[in-house]
Amino acid sequence: MRNVDAAGLGIGDDYPPRIMGVLNVSRESPYEPSVFDDPGEAAEYVDTELIDEGADIVDVGLESANKRFEVLSAAEELERLDVALETLESVSGDAVFSIETRYHEVAEAALSAGFDVVNDICGFTDPEMPRVCEAYDAAVVKMASPPDLTRPGAVEDVDDIYEALQREGLTEKTIVDPAFGGWSEEKTLADDRETFHRLREFRGLGQPILVSINRKNFLRDIAGRSTEAALPVSLAATSMAVERGAHVVRTHDVAETRDAALVGEAFARDRVRHGDGIEVEELDVTTTREAARHVERVGGDADAAASSVVRVFELRGLSDAERAALDGAAASAGVTLVAGTDGTLVMGTPSALRSFAAGASGVSSALDAALAAVDEPPR
């Protein structure tokens, strides 16, 4: 996993989770507490409500990316940039500043005037964006989007999200964002939940991961909460996201989110180990799909992913004939059986379990049903 230096702020497995607070100078933005058009008031908000509460990064939005609003042109975004720059000059606290935009002209103007990071909500759809960020040695958040500047984040399927992040490549300082939220009419809450469930897969890109899940609908729906009452579900998801490998959490609730992220970090896998001159990283792989992403990244044989994960099942209520069938199939399939008085443990890779299930079938309908469950791919 690559670490990224964002104007001196380390982001990646070697660093604690980073909190990105939000400031909007877009009057159409729906979250009113973060919206300002006066630079002095905006600076006070940044100092007291974001930086003092634990924000490492302040993300400044010039327009709402909500699909209900008309998309501003680059020229219109540049007109709003003055408020953001005046705010930057008035902030007394120490933080890294990110500009949220889809246009390379806006990114270049912001970076040349003191911003440190670009949050590209259209994921390099503007082909000049990577060049500008590399020219300024700036970290850039690449949000998964279709190749259309008017449709940020409008990708539904997890595999398509992954491919969108790969499209147009990645700079050495890219942070990837799977684009949680209702960016299109077609995207469902189930799509977001599936993306969250498969969050570890995005570590296969080899870059730090940003998640923007604060009070999102796919979490609120689980508990039946309004936006105002959705902080607890956001915090629960924040801990889970960090435990699963997220490195930056974008939020309006800075202090609370920081605490939740630290809990997630405390219980996350210790991934990076150092040998004698050789770096060793234990990959956070729990499914063959997660393994397949890493195999693809290193250019390996795709079939190898099926042998990457050991799964363990316990079977109870077996007859003598069914136990004998399992014993007979285990050795040839490369599966380990541990028989005890209360049950039988079955351990093996998905490919070995598939061979095992085929070899032990046919003894009884009950055993066939159990073997089908053993052979079922993990989510």
Q: What is the C-alpha separation between 86 and 114, in angstroms, rounded?
A: 11
My answer on whether 160 and 242 are in the same domain is yes
Average pLDDT of each block of 10 consecutive residues along the chain (379 residues)? Answer: 95 96 76 73 95 98 77 93 93 96 98 98 97 98 96 96 97 98 93 98 97 97 96 98 98 97 94 75 91 95 91 95 95 94 93 94 95 86
Q: What Å distances lie between residue 225 and 49, 232, 256, CA to CA?
A: 24, 10, 18
Q: What token pair was written down for 102?
A: 């889809």
Split into its structural domains, the chain has a count of 2
Domain interval for residue 323: 310-375
Under 8 Å between Cβ of 22 and 87: no
> Is 173 a domain residue?
yes
Strand partners, 141: 119, 175
My answer on whether 317 and 250 are in the same domain is no
Compute the residue count for the chain.
Answer: 379
Q: What pLDDT score does 173 carry?
A: 98
Q: What pLDDT score does 371 carry?
A: 95
Residue at token pair 């680059």: 74
Q: What token pair was written down for 206?
A: 């080899």
Q: What pLDDT score does 36 carry?
A: 79
67 DSSP assignment: T
> Is 282 a domain residue?
no
My answer on whether 187 and 89 are in the same domain is yes
My answer on whether 125 and 248 are in the same domain is yes
My answer on whether 24 and 146 are in the same domain is yes
Q: What pLDDT score does 364 carry?
A: 96
Domain endpoint, select from 234, 268, 302: 268
> Is 285 a domain residue?
no
> Is 289 a domain residue?
no
My answer on whether 171 and 258 are in the same domain is yes
> Is 345 a domain residue?
yes
- Provide the whole-model pTM: 0.93
As to burial, measured by CB atoms within 10 angstroms (0-12 exposed, 13-18 middle, 19+ buried), residue 194 is middle
My answer on whether 11 and 110 are in the same domain is yes
> Is 302 a domain residue?
no
Domain endpoint, select from 238, 268, 298: 268
Phi, psi values for residue 58, rounded to 5°: -115, 120
Domain endpoint, select from 218, 251, 268: 268
- CATH code (residue 98): 3.20.20.20
Q: What pLDDT score does 31 carry?
A: 52
My answer on whether 314 and 259 are in the same domain is no
Q: What pLDDT score does 27 carry?
A: 66
My answer on whether 134 and 211 are in the same domain is yes
> Is 356 a domain residue?
yes
My answer on whether 138 and 227 are in the same domain is yes
Under 8 Å between Cβ of 325 and 365: no
- CATH code (residue 357): 3.30.70
Q: What pLDDT score does 270 carry?
A: 83
> Is 337 a domain residue?
yes
My answer on whether 244 and 328 are in the same domain is no
Under 8 Å between Cβ of 356 and 346: yes
Under 8 Å between Cβ of 56 and 95: yes
97 DSSP assignment: E
Rg value, the chain, Cα: 24
Q: What pLDDT score does 32 carry?
A: 60
Q: What pLDDT score does 273 carry?
A: 67
Q: What pLDDT score does 1 carry?
A: 82
How many CB atoms within 10 Å of residue 304?
A: 15
